[in-house]
Structure 1
Amino acid sequence: LESLGYVLMYFNLGSLPWQGLKAATKRQKYERISEKKMSTPIEVLCKGYPSEFATYLNFCRSLRFDDKPDYSYLRQLFRNLFHRQGFSYDYVFDWNMLKFVSNVSATSDFIPFATLIFSSLDLLSPEVYTRSLLPTNLKSVGIG
Structure 2
Amino acid sequence: MESLGYVLMYFNRGTLPWQGLKAATKKQKYEKISEKKMSTSVEMLCKGFPAEFPMYLNYTRGLRFDEAPDYMYLRQLFRILFRTLNHQYDYTFDWTMLKQKASQSQNTMLQPGASGSQQPMPIVSPAPPQQ
- Pick the TM interval, shorter chain: 0.7 to 0.9
**Larger relative contact order (CA 8 Å, sep ≥ 6):** 2
Measure the CA separation in 2 of the matches of 1:80 and 1:92.
19
Give the distance between the partners of 2:10 and 2:101, measured in 1 at CA. 27
Partner SS, residue 31 of structure 1: helix
| TM-score for the superposition, normalised by structure 2 | 0.77
Identity, in percent, stands at: 63
TM norm structure 1? 0.71
Distance 1:35 1:101, change over 3 A: closer
- Extract structure 1 runs of 4+ deviating beyond 3 A: 99-106
The two structures, once aligned, show a CA RMSD in angstroms of: 2.2
Unpaired runs of 5+ residues, structure 1, are: 107-113, 126-144
Equivalenced residue count is: 115
Per-residue CA deviation, residues 26-61 of structure 1 (Å, 9 max, x unaligned), is: 111101100110110100110000010000000010
- Residue 95 of structure 2 corresponds to residue 95 of structure 1: yes
Q: Which whole-Å deviations, capped at 9, do the CAs of 1:50-109 have from their partners, x for residues lacking one? A: 010000000010000110111111111111101001111011112333268547975xxx
Distance across 1 between alignment mates of 2:89 and 2:15: 28
Match of 2:129 in 1: none
